Amino acid sequence: MTPPSSKLYSKRLRGWLSYAFASEVFVIVSLTLFLPICLEQFARDNGYLLPDRIERCTAPAPAGSDLAPVESTGRCVVKIGWLWIDTASFSLYVYSISVALQALTVISMGGIADHPPHRKILLVTFGLFGALSATTFLLLPSTSPVWLLSALLASIANVGFGASVVAMNSYLPALAKDAPEVVQIREEIEDSADADETDGAAGHATESQEAPLIARPPSEEHAALHAKYDAELSRATARISSLGIALGYGAGICLLVVALIPVTKLKGSTWSLRLAIGLSGIWWAVFTIPAALWLPGGSAAAASGGGDSGDGQWNARREIVAAWKRLGGMLHPREIKRLRNTFKYLAAWFLLSDGFTTITSTAVLFGKTTLHMEPTSLILIGVLTPLAGILGSLLWPQLQRRFGWTNLRVIIILVVLASAIPAYGCLGFLSVFQGDGMRFGGLTTQGEMFGLALYFGSIYGAFQSFARAFYAELLPPGEEARWYGLFSITDKSSSFVGPLIVGLISDMTGNIRYAFFFLVFMIWAAVPVLMSVDVERGRKDAREYTYK
Q: What is the mean pLDDT of each run of 10 residues along the chain (548 residues)?
A: 75 92 90 87 89 80 50 78 87 84 79 73 93 96 92 94 82 81 82 61 48 48 72 68 76 87 82 93 96 78 45 66 76 85 89 83 80 81 82 80 83 92 84 51 83 89 75 71 66 65 82 87 90 87 78
Q: Where are the alpha helices (DSSP H) in 404-514?
A: 407-426, 446-472, 480-489, 497-509
Q: Establish whether domains 1-194+223-305 and 322-548 are of one fold.
A: yes
Give SS3 for 243: helix
Q: Give the pLDDT of residue 64.
A: 46
Query: 334, exposed or middle or buried, with CB in 10 Å at 0-12, 13-18, 19+?
Result: exposed
Q: What's residue 65's pLDDT?
A: 45
Pinpoint the alpha helices (H) of 295-339.
298-303, 316-330, 333-338
pTM, two decimals, is: 0.72
Cβ–Cβ under 8 Å, residues 381 and 454: no
* 374 alpha carbon, distance to own chain's centre: 27
Return the domain boundaries, the chain.
1-194+223-305, 322-548
> Is domain 322-548 given the CATH code 3.30.750.24 in the classification?
no
Cα distance between residue 516 and residue 435, in whole Å: 23
CATH class of 1-194+223-305: mainly alpha
User: Can you give 503-527 as a three-state secondary structure string?
Assistant: HHHHHHHCCHHHHHHHHHHHHHHHH
Output the pLDDT for position 213.
41
DSSP state string for 355-379: HHHHHHHHHHHHHHHTS---HHHHH
pLDDT at site 63: 47
